Amino acid sequence: MRTTDSKANRLFIVLAGFFLTNALIAEFVGVKIFSLEQTLGAQPFEWRLLGVSGTLSFTAGVLLWPFVFVMTDVINEYFGLRGVRLISWVAVAFIAYAFAAAYASIALAPAGFWVDANRTLGVPDIQQAYAQIFGQGLWTIGGSIVAFLVGQLVDVTVFHRIRRVTGDRLVWLRATGSTAVSQLLDSFVVLYIAFVLGPQRWPVAQFLAVGTVNYVYKMLAAVAMIPLLYLARDAIKSYLGADEAARLRNEAAS
């Protein structure tokens, strides 16, 4: 029997593919900072914390990271510690490879007609724009990769510790609890590496304030995604059948 003949294997391939796709896209679209208030058509909300103030501005990657959180918990539920660790390390390798490919493409000499054509479309220097979008700083890339890996490995550990206590009950608790711990680390690790250790040298108050606001946003998004977790669970049960779904959950728990 071929590997892809198994429903469980096909399920893992689909979940892992969706996980990797969202993680990669989130890394690249994250270069854009958007205003949450203006996007929602609301008045600017100015927060103040630790003597630092700002508005609700986030990277565009926050649109996709909540789906990565959900995929992490779903894979954890059915394929356990080894499944999440595998896709986490694969994701780190793919993200690093993607950024290396982006830097290589930036180094290519732009064709003159391409530059001229985009200039007539209102982009004065398309090569510079291309480099600005795809050539994220090495400190930002490094911080993002380290934070992602730390968050994933912590998430899977906390998830299973909660599961040992709750058994098959309270899916929302182990999903939200593991996200709460992992994203606390993720939110601050990425900022610390990218903006405290990096060339911008943020003061501690700014680092803590921005990290806290980002963490609160991520947790609100995680709570909002709980219904999607249950929908995914029901869809998997329908696809695999109740017995096979239960078998995978039991194996993952052990």
**CB-based contacts of 83, cutoff 8 Å, min separation 6:** 12, 75, 76, 252
Give percent of the chain above pLDDT 70. 98
Mean pLDDT across the stretch 99-123?
Answer: 94
- Give CA 61 to chain center in angstroms: 7
- Read off the pLDDT band of 1 (50, 70, 90): very low
With beta carbons less than 8 A apart as the criterion, state whether 187 and 214 touch.
yes
**CB-based contacts of 164, cutoff 8 Å, min separation 6:** 253
H or E element in which residue 246 lies: helix 242-253
- Residue of higher predicted confidence among 68 and 3: 68
CA dist 161 and 167 (Å) reads 10
- Read off the pLDDT band of 29 (50, 70, 90): confident
Secondary structure of 184-196 in HEC code, one letter for each residue: HHHHHHHHHHHHH
> Residue ranges per domain, the chain?
3-253
Kindly state the tokens that stand for 42. 């609301």
What pLDDT, on a 0 to 100 scale, did the predictor assign at position 114?
95
Which residues in 206-241 are b (16+ Cβ under 10 Å) and which e?
A: bbbbbbbbbbebbbebbeebbeebeebbeebeeebe
Other C-beta atoms within 10 Å of 75: how many? 23
CA dist 254 and 250 (Å) reads 6
What pLDDT, on a 0 to 100 scale, did the predictor assign at position 4?
52
Q: How far is CA 45 from CA 37, 61, 205, 220, 247, in A?
A: 7, 21, 20, 17, 48
Per-residue pLDDT of 173-222, as tens digits, reads: 888 888 889 889 888 998 899 889 887 888 999 999 998 998 998 889 88
- Read off the pLDDT band of 5 (50, 70, 90): low
What pLDDT, on a 0 to 100 scale, did the predictor assign at position 16?
94
Mean pLDDT across the stretch 225-236?
Answer: 90
Strand partners, 58: 34
Per-residue pLDDT of 53-107, as tens digits, reads: 888 888 888 888 888 888 898 999 899 888 999 999 999 999 999 999 999 999 9
Q: Which amino acid is at 158?
A: V
Place of tokens 């998997």: 236
DSSP state, residue 59:
E
* pTM across the whole model: 0.85
Give percent of the chain above pLDDT 90. 39
**CB-based contacts of 96, cutoff 8 Å, min separation 6:** 145
What pLDDT, on a 0 to 100 scale, did the predictor assign at position 171?
81
